[in-house]
Amino acid sequence: MGRKERQNREAKRDNYASKHSSEKRKHNLIAIGVLALIAVIVGYAGYMFINMTETAPGGPENAGPLGSEHSHAAILVKIFGDTFEFASPAFQIKSSWIHFEGNDGSTIHKHATGVKLGYLFDTLSIGLDDQCFIFPDGKSFCTNDDYTLKFFINEEPVDDIRDYEIMEDDRILILFGAETPEEIQAYLIQLSGQELIK
C-alpha cells in the first residue's frame, strides 16, 4: 500500500508540475502577444506622426510634413496700447503645425514648411485680414477714419501678414490704434528685445 500511495503522490506531483508549467507557458505567450501588439501600435503611430502631411486632419493647405522645419518668431500685438496676450490656455497648442506653447504667448513655433501666419490665427479663432483684428468673442478692431490696423515684419511695414511664412528669429508687430511714429518705434524696440522661447 505504501508503494501505491507513493506512486499516486508522484503522479499528482507530476500532474501539478505539468499543469503549472503549461499555465506559465500560456501566460508568457499571452504577455508576449500583448507586448508585440503594443509595439506594432506604437510603431504605426510613430510612422504616421513622422509622415503626416497637409492631408492629415487639421493640417494647413500646402504644408510639408510635420518636422520638416522648426522655426521660431517673436510676436507682439498691441490694441490701443494694450498687449494682446497669447499665453492663456485658450491660445496654447491649437495645431501641431504652428502654435504657441509652454504658457508663453510671445514666441510662435512652426513645425512644417509652407505654414502661413493666417493659418495660425485661424486655429486660434482670431479673425484677421488687412483691415480687421477680430477677437474670438467677436469683438472687432477694424481700420476706420480714426484708427488703423498696421503690420510690421522685421521692422518693415506690410499691408497684410496672412500669407507670410515665418523664418527663424522673425519679429512680427501688429498694432491697432492711432500711434505716433515715436510710439511705433518704441514698440519695434520692445519687440526686437523680446526673447524667443525655444
For 125-163, letters b (16+ CB in 10 Å) and e give: ebebeeeebbeeeeeebeeeeebebbbbbeeeeeeebee
**Structural domain spans, the chain:** 1-51, 71-192
Dist. CA 166–CA 75, nearest whole Å: 11
Residues 95-128 have pLDDT tens digits of: 999 999 999 999 999 999 999 999 999 999 999 9
Mean pLDDT across the chain: 87
* pLDDT value for 54: 40
Instruction: Answer whether residue 57 shows pLDDT above 50.
Output: yes
Dist. CA 100–CA 93, nearest whole Å: 6
Range name among 18-22, 57-61, 68-72, 156-160 with the lowest pLDDT average: 18-22
Residues 131-190 have pLDDT tens digits of: 999 999 999 999 999 999 999 999 999 999 999 999 999 999 999 999 999 999 999 999
CB 109 within 8 A of CB 69: no
Q: Among all chains, which residue has been given the C-alpha cell 501641431? A: 96
Dist. CA 117–CA 65, nearest whole Å: 17
Instruction: Answer whether residue 27 shows pLDDT above 80.
Output: no
pTM of the model: 0.71
Residues 31-51 have pLDDT tens digits of: 777 777 787 777 766 666 655
* pLDDT value for 20: 65
Domain 71-192, what architecture?
Beta Complex (2.170)
Name the pLDDT band for 129 (thresholds 50, 70, 90): very high
